[in-house]
Structure 1
């Protein structure tokens, strides 16, 4: 908590100069009146210092800067779309913004319109959620699964009850936390949490994003910036959803929709049909004279396509960009030979497969003649087991 003299200094100088301050100027001015305040804000940026003294300075400029930074993050082609989804600025005023000018000017125009409507952090947080809903691949999402206690029935409480309970539990445990909700079209709710400390207001740039689907045990969470508050977060989730336990699944990706498709077993329905390219068409220029070889090759191609279809199906695979295998096995070799023959400790190594679209890449290996069919089950089980992190140990 800041002392009385510190708040007096902030009240005297903060309001007069809050609009145009830099961290160095702020520290210098504070040091002339109260060295204690200077030490408190010297390490902060101007906006973080403003957040710390929000009750004295006011939130207007902090909200304006947050909206400006959010607009700067949005791809140019998506700015108009996201602002219309936000629906805070009237359409008639949106038409006055020249979206073809540089993004910095666009952001300033948006901020000016928001100032006229006295936007609060509540509206700014919703804009941030819409940005992350539209540009989901900016964060790595991890899947968590909640479970009921033995014999407990499935809870049928609605989403509004879940939101209310979640917010009450988390705010009861943590004083300075800002929670925002936004429903999506697929019956899910997006939750945005800005974390503070016992002595500072929530930092809107240190946030956690969560996606929860009603009546399901799964929750998708971006990286939690404040690890020490994870127990309180888990407690709020389990209480709101009436669950007994929460556990992290070994499944992560940049592509939230693909994670949903995997855990909800929807990838054979929601993804468009994928047609395997015939190897016969690809190699049509290669002339093989011997009819026996032609027959043998055709049978092998048919077998490969059949096995590939049985393994992966005829649809586009969920988009996963990596799979990691951690090996903890004993080194297999002749007991009489080799420097590792008498080693008791497990042989440890890490193998990682990466691709912009890993499952589609694996699906194409056998038809392309790069690998034998069928592929190892360690590679093909990713969508079925809902895992892309594996630890392989001795049986």
Structure 2
């Protein structure tokens, strides 16, 4: 076995948490059940990795096999990468071409290999009519760097691709060109939607966030909030409080729905606006260039945080459409200018 392949497999195995080790290896399906039973998984990880590498060598492991293991690891830990949404388009009036996935894969690989001598392309199909693509980039004179790959998740018969870039950003145009041609589109555009949570991006793009995420019993939640009222309070205050809570709950439900929101970490707003004032004169009033600033909202679960603002009494209901339109518009980067 090539030393670079052995080192690549070893490094990948060392990244896998012990709690996920057997799950990942079984999904890889390169080592047999009997071989896995001979391995002592209670060993120190370094020693365990060496034992697994020796078993891989017995099976004649290739670079492509090692790349598949890396894809499977990345699938299990997809939230460790940042994903960008790209949308492709056909010419106006052109019909959708129902090309099969094998044709797409063959075309994609040929385009990259013709343009760049040293590049490794590996595919792994998923059950949801999508394919994961791993691209390790090299140069005309240097072998591909297996430790800084780019990943693509492409859904067949759709214009959408989710891309997690490597540090080698100079190859982005080539990657986008290969995607566009192989999928028989004519244009590709980077959309204003980015997150670590790939599943949430997919739910937003395919409008599945009201299906894929857990629902909540709104009546039960409303009743629980009501029980928290002080029984010694004036009945008129209780009545007003209840009416307002019901209104806030109803408005929040109409905007966000009665289900858990897709997970995003931030929303960014670039503002470009002229200074406006009722007072005459002043330096800012005479300024021709717009005032520019950047506002960024961040949270471990931004949409759920926004959803809870009004009920927590932190903000008035309804919230600004600029905050609530994120899932419907499929954006978390916004540019706001004067009309």
Q: SS of 1:130's equivalent?
A: helix
Kept in 1: contact 2:152–2:163 (CA 8 A): yes
Matches within 5 A, 1:364-375: 364-375=308-319
Match of 1:114 among 53, 56, 66: 56
Kept in 2: contact 1:191–1:210 (CA 8 A): yes
What CA distance in whole angstroms lies between the structure 2 residues aligned with 1:255 and 1:275?
25
Kept in 1: contact 2:268–2:296 (CA 8 A): yes
Matches within 5 A, 1:215-364: 215-276=157-218, 277-278=221-222, 281=225, 284=228, 286-336=230-280, 339-364=283-308
Match of 2:28 among 82, 86, 108: 86
What CA distance in whole angstroms lies between the structure 2 residues aligned with 1:251 and 1:197?
30
Partner of 1:170: 112
Kept in 2: contact 1:279–1:301 (CA 8 A): no
**Structure 1 residue runs without a partner (length 5+):** 1-58
Deviation at 1:114, TM superposition (A): 1.1
Deviation at 1:248, TM superposition (A): 0.3
What CA distance in whole angstroms lies between the structure 1 residues aligned with 2:64 and 2:233?
73
Matches within 5 A, 1:194-233: 194-233=136-175
What CA distance in whole angstroms lies between the structure 1 residues aligned with 2:298 and 2:223?
25
Kept in 2: contact 1:327–1:393 (CA 8 A): yes
Deviation at 1:339, TM superposition (A): 4.2
Deviation at 1:335, TM superposition (A): 3.8
The CA deviation string for residues 346-389 of structure 1, in whole angstroms up to 9 with x for no partner, is: 11111111111100111111111111100000100000000001
Against the structure 1 CA distance between its residues 374 and 105, is the aligned structure 2 distance closer, same or farther, given a 3 Å change threshold?
Answer: same
- Which 4+ runs in 1 deviate beyond 6 A? none
Against the structure 1 CA distance between its residues 125 and 89, is the aligned structure 2 distance closer, same or farther, given a 3 Å change threshold?
Answer: same
- Give the count of matched residue pairs: 337
Who wins on radius of gyration, i.e. which is larger?
A: 1
What CA distance in whole angstroms lies between the structure 2 residues aligned with 1:99 and 1:285?
54
What CA distance in whole angstroms lies between the structure 1 residues aligned with 2:319 and 2:278?
28
Partner of 1:24: none
Which structure exhibits the higher relative contact order, with contacts defined as CA atoms closer than 8 Å and separated by 6 or more residues? 2
What CA distance in whole angstroms lies between the structure 2 residues aligned with 1:228 and 1:247?
17
Deviation at 1:112, TM superposition (A): 1.6
